[in-house]
Chains A and B, each alone.
Chain A
Amino acid sequence: MNMKKPFSLLTILLIFQGFAQAQADNADFMRSVGKMYVVYGVIVVIFVALVLFLIYLDRRLTKLENQINDQ
């Protein structure tokens, strides 16, 4: 499995830039339906953070597997 920097800093910055613009265009979106989308946003952040952590673990395990194979 070869994953070379799936999330570079630039990609993340671009994603956040996109979010920021979407919000500027539609400032009331997050505040609609009793501001429920703020809660969704928070839950998405938790999920994304855990997935990023899993990707980190995955990459380190891949390195270990490669070392075992090399021996």
Chain B
Amino acid sequence: MRKYWWKILGVFLIVYSFTMGLLVPLKPGIAYFEPGATQAGKAYEMTITGYNTFYTKATAAPRVWLKYDSVHMLIADRVEVLGDRQLKARFNLPGSLPTEKQVAVTSLIIDDDYNGFAVKPGSVFITADSSLQEISIGKAAWGKTEVSGVHEKDQFNFPYRVQLSETIRNLYYHVPFWFAMFIIFIAGITQSVQYLRTNNPEYDYKSMSFTMVGTLFGVIGLITGMIWAKDTWGTYWTWKEVKMNMTAIALLVYFAYFILRQSFDDDERRARISAVYSIFAFAAMIALLYVVPRMVSSLHPGSGGNPALGADDLDNSMRLVFYPAIIGWTLFGVWLTSLIYRMQMVRERIYDQ
């Protein structure tokens, strides 16, 4: 039993990531609203539909703001709760905007004591009548209130993003495979180096087994990514997304590794050449997956320089599930590796007889 502790740990972490990742609710958010545009100087009545919200459970009616910029915002005169997910908010828009822009895009902010604080950026378009240029009036009217005394929902939940909605959970079922793949490929390359140093065929089989599991994880990462892309970006595959295409190339390089192995009859030559090849493949993968995508713009979060683990992309509640998922899938991958390796060794013994 003692020998199996890391396998049990790996499976436990995976089960944990599935359970937590699927059961924890999303933070209450703003799904949509209408109408999306209005004019300055008019009364604007909007109906708001929330997501995961329970507006009827709030002790006081929610407060609703339209935020123009950090100092100019407007609070709704009247907010009516129509249901758990429905609000009606009425604004008396001043005749002009606080700056001389003809069209303003305001953010929608809702706060109450049960559901907490929700923001939908870039929400309501307000066009100002071009004949009214009284910016000072607009400034005074928009600068009267401020967003203050907001609540934070006292519950463990994942952030709500309009674009992602529930698919934010895919972070635990797509990204960990890339991390695990990377760790497993590193393990594989250390075995390749060991083989070149010692010429012991056991290291060659270990290296091959690690590479096989790493490639499997890469394929899983690519297909799960395609499904997520279909929803978020609207297409399964796009040539404009550099990370996706570079990953496909890197995986092809690794597919070639297995074809290369099959084309040798001499065990020693096969082992030596595939060890050298796997080192080059690893170097190519680093360049393709971790260098090139950072140099150009990409649809993936965190593109254009920094990795996708900034505070904008991952909050602490998600880290609690995301990191265990990485460890779990890595351990699971090592388990699969050991199965392939042991099978290879049995095969060797049969052929030797």
Q: Which residues of A contact B (CB under 8 A)?
A: 30-31, 33-36, 38-39, 41-43, 45-46, 49-50, 53, 57, 60-61, 64, 67-68, 71
Contact = CB atoms under 8 A, between A and B. Distances in A.
A57 B350 contact: no
Contacts, number: 64
Interface in B34-75: 51
A67 B348 CA distance: 12
Given A34-B26, A57-B339, A60-B343, A45 B166 contact: no
A41 B339 CA distance: 28
A40 to B, nearest CB: 9
B220 A49 contact: yes
Contact of B231 (A30, A33, A43, A45): A30
Interface in B305-353: 336, 339-340, 343, 346-347, 350, 353
Contacts of B343: 57, 60-61, 64
Q: Decide if the interface of chain A is mainly helix, strand, loop or mixed.
A: helix
A30 B170 CA distance: 14
Contacts of A39: 22, 166-167, 169-170, 173
B346 A42 contact: no
Q: How large is the interface on B (under 10, 10 to 19, 20 to 34, 35 or more residues)?
A: 20 to 34
Contact of B219 (A31, A36, A43, A49): A49
B223 interface: yes
Contacts of A53: 216, 336
Contact of A68 (B22, B164, B339, B350): B350
Given A36-B166, A60-B343, A64-B343, A46 B224 contact: yes
